[in-house]
Copies of this chain bind each other. A is one copy, B any other.
């Protein structure tokens, strides 16, 4: 609960590199996430290289959205989805739900909460150009980029909490 309460999307970072063991811990938390049929559809590309991070910010973010702040994140992690027949073709036909995408949310958030525990800031970014991401991180066609997560040393005074809907509006007790 304390991690959840503390976490906000962090869009201001100090331009300092990240300890490799911090990134490894975050990815380990993601690796252990649960998934539909234990399919583990997640793939991660951890971009620490500065030139490559610049390319992601310049080319893979949707134009018109100011994302220059992301350059100071020590790493940008691309989240990709590996397609599988059971969960992608059979399950959606039965229940109408694309579970691997939900699973990516679970795994990505494990990573985010682990980062929070280490004192790092993160931001989920969905407004991306998937093909550009794939080209930059050089993933094969079978891996579908679904988002990016920036990770860095937060400038904490710039943190902002956004309001949430009241509990009564989203929860029904039966």
Contact = CB atoms under 8 A, between A and B. Distances in A.
Which 10 pairs between the two chains have the least Cβ-Cβ distance?
A: A105-B105, A102-B105, A106-B109, A105-B106, A45-B172, A47-B174, A44-B171, A101-B101, A4-B29, A36-B126
Contacts of A164: 31-32, 40
11 contacts: A7-B32, A9-B34, A31-B164, A31-B167, A31-B170, A44-B172, A45-B171, A45-B172, A48-B174, A97-B146, A106-B109
A43 B109 CA distance: 18
Contact of A96 (B130, B163, B171): B130
A27 B114 CA distance: 20
A88 interface: no
Contacts of A129: 95
A147 interface: yes
A102 B125 CA distance: 12
A94 B131 CA distance: 11
A91 interface: yes
A42 B102 contact: no
Contact of A48 (B1, B99, B128, B173): B173
Interface in A82-139: 91, 94-99, 101-106, 108-110, 112-114, 117, 124, 126-130, 137, 139
A52 B101 contact: no
A167 to B, nearest CB: 6
A43 B45 CA distance: 32
Contacts of A127: 91, 94-95
A23 to B, nearest CB: 8
Nearest to A81: B97
